[in-house]
Structure 1
Amino acid sequence: MDTGITIIICTYNGAPRLPETLRHIACQQVKPDVAWEVLVVDNASSDGSAELAATTWRKLSCPAPLKVLHQPQKGLTYARELAMQEAAYEFVLFCDDDNWLSPGYVDLAYDLMQENPGIGVLGGFGELVFEQEPPGWMHYLTGLASGPQAVTSGKTQYNAVYGAGCIMRKAVFEKLRKAGFHPLLSDRRGKKLSAGGDYELCYAAALAGYEIWYDERLRFKHFIPQQRISAAYYDRLMKEGAESLAVLIPYRLRVNQNCKDALYFNIHLLKVVIFYFRGLVMLLLTKTTSAFRKKETTYLKLKLLSFVYKLYALRNYTSMKQNFRKVLDLERRLNSSRLL
């Protein structure tokens, strides 16, 4: 792999958002000796996203080349895999089609990855920018790929960062691929709001012996269009996103809790269920206190529903146990490859 950085934009019907995202990329202040490129992956769009991206880039007159790829199989995971295979450089930056990178983002990301060879995945700080003024309850929501990802810059405590604006070492992808890694999650798929593919990549990278870092100096804006500013949208986001827990919790229990067998898995899974159930009960018991009355009813309803969706997602114990075995199998294959 050549030294440099590849910016990857995976998009599904992103024509309304791509021009501004590309404009911010074209404004990157990259050192002359750092090679970089932009890959746009059209993930089965029907709005001319690919053509718009190419036309917009030509008008911006950026020295970095832009290449458009087509992934007909819907799913952010599949789009990212195609881009990783085609990326020319050793570092890849996942920029969502609604992410506006600060001018020094690429340069700083490159330097951090070069200076710290143990980093497998590096995350930044996203700031929400709304197309129109959001209702008050939205200011309390979490899980929107925004805000700090650790108390301080450096290695993250829980071995995960959100995918928006994150940088991955291509060697990690190659190592996982050689070990037979096949993601269990498809992530966003067309209009479906399934999620979790970014966290699965982070956990797999941790299993491969790499560190997951966050640096607060990596700043970008996360644009929220008008159609996403509604309680109905976030209800769907939480409900469909919770389904990824059947995959992510087995990863978490191995990576973060060091669960090595079925007994420890069962014990820690029970703790997870109790944690979510306790959160639901506590919220029901305390929602009439003055602290909660200051927050809007919509927020409280969504918070309650989030616990319900998470608990419901854990209903299939057999599937979770199978996923845990798959995680252990992946780790064994990775360990075996280190000995070769």
Structure 2
Amino acid sequence: MAEPREIPEGPAHERVTVVLITWQRREEALVAVRRLLELPERPRVIVLDNASTDGTAQALREAHPRDSAGGRRLDVVVLPENQGAVARNTGVASATTPYVAFCDDDTWWDPGSLERAADLFDADERIAVLTARILVEPGGVEDGIVTELRESPVQGAPGLPGPALGSFLAGASVVRRSAFLQVGGFSRRLWLGGEEELLAADLAAAGWELCYVEDLQIHHQASVLRESTRRRRNGIRNTLWFTWLRRPLPAATRRTRDLLRSLPPDRTSALGVLDAVAGLPWLVRERKVLPPHAEARFAALEESQRTSKSRNYSR
């Protein structure tokens, strides 16, 4: 874990940057960015455009021009290729604040949540990730996964501001920038789809805490422009990769068995498994089993993973 540091003071915009990733969703990105810039915390917003061809970057710049002094709270970075979740690494590296809130182009933070997250980080140097309560729009209905976060069986350090977590949901979380950079951010090999688990494990191995906080809120209005088949294929591959990269042999065997039993017998499932097998040489080379204190977090989740209705690859 990082050495004790002096607690930063100041308004939220000096402590939290929002990093948003987008691809081919110009209209939704415009709405999400507008809502973020309207937040009372007035955060700097960094948009990572994953090589969109629909004019997203230009539309954002035109909608939010620099002021008369040449300043702007929005920075748009156009990447040369679609880097998926790994684009967030670029955003975190560009941020100058101690904390970074992630956002997708179909999500937005509730007013006051970024200020609250910054205060919680300031108060507890053990925490690397804070995950928020997710409200599904339209309607503001609580996402089904929130119950699992709220009832997490993971045992964390005493005195955390909420239940300890084994993993997290990147699009609904705020991270401590120094912890994120310490473990290298999101893996380029995993790209997108269940990419959080490996990062969460490496944070836990380094001694950091992750937790769910009820009074942090983020809104999610799922885009109709989704590559669900590709996302599911990647998710299956990445879950298997993480399992064999970090879990001890008995646990990896159990998790693999349970996952394979849960998959529908279709082409996407088969391709996801084949993709995972194709990475075997890399897995053998990079395998590094978690220390006992970190493995305990994932062992505690095995039953909930078997029964979860929100975290599975059945569709």
SS at match of 1:220: strand
SS at match of 2:62: helix
Q: Partner residue of 2:45?
A: 38
The structural deviation recorded for 1:59 is 9.9
Is it true that 1:102 corresponds to 2:85 in the alignment? no
SS at match of 1:126: strand
Task: Please report the TM-score for the alignment, with normalisation by the length of structure 2.
Answer: 0.71
Q: Partner residue of 1:183?
A: 187
Partner amino acid for 1:270?
A: T
Q: How many residues align?
A: 267
Q: Partner residue of 1:289?
A: none
SS at match of 1:167: strand
1:150 touches 1:156 (CA, 8 Å); kept in 2?
A: no
Q: Partner residue of 2:250?
A: 267
Superposition pairs for residues 1-340 of structure 1, below 5 Å? 4-30=15-41, 36-58=43-65, 65-129=73-137, 149-151=149-151, 154-158=162-166, 160-177=167-184, 183-188=187-192, 195-228=193-226, 234-250=228-244, 253=247, 265-277=248-260, 279-280=261-262, 315=277, 319-325=282-288
1:30-68 per-residue CA deviation (whole Å, 9 max, x = no partner) reads 2xxxx831111122111121122222234999x971112
Tell me the distance in 2 between the aligned counterparts of 1:157 and 1:41. 27
1:203 touches 1:251 (CA, 8 Å); kept in 2?
A: no
Tell me the distance in 1 between the aligned counterparts of 2:186 and 2:256. 27
- CA 1:53–1:324 in 2, change beyond 3 Å: closer, same or farther? same
Tell me the distance in 2 between the aligned counterparts of 1:19 and 1:151. 35
1:151-187 per-residue CA deviation (whole Å, 9 max, x = no partner) reads 17624242x111112111111133234xxx7825342
Tell me the distance in 2 between the aligned counterparts of 1:163 and 1:273. 23
Q: Could you tell me which runs of 5 or more consecutive residues in structure 1 were left unpaired when the two chains were aligned.
A: 132-138, 189-194, 254-264, 281-301, 332-340
Tell me the distance in 2 between the aligned counterparts of 1:304 and 1:59. 52
Tell me the distance in 2 between the aligned counterparts of 1:29 and 1:246. 41
The structural deviation recorded for 1:130 is 6.3
Q: Could you tell me which runs of 5 or more consecutive residues in structure 2 were left unpaired when the two chains were aligned.
A: 1-5, 9-13, 153-160, 295-315
- CA 1:326–1:11 in 2, change beyond 3 Å: closer, same or farther? farther
- CA 1:184–1:8 in 2, change beyond 3 Å: closer, same or farther? closer
Tell me the distance in 2 between the aligned counterparts of 1:196 and 1:185. 12
Tell me the distance in 2 between the aligned counterparts of 1:216 and 1:252. 29
The structural deviation recorded for 1:25 is 1.0
1:128-152 per-residue CA deviation (whole Å, 9 max, x = no partner) reads 3369xxxxxxx9x97xx87652317
Partner amino acid for 2:21?
A: C
Task: Please report the TM-score for the alignment, with normalisation by the length of structure 1.
Answer: 0.66
Tell me the distance in 1 between the aligned counterparts of 2:229 and 2:146. 18
1:312-334 per-residue CA deviation (whole Å, 9 max, x = no partner) reads 66646655443423878xx9xxx
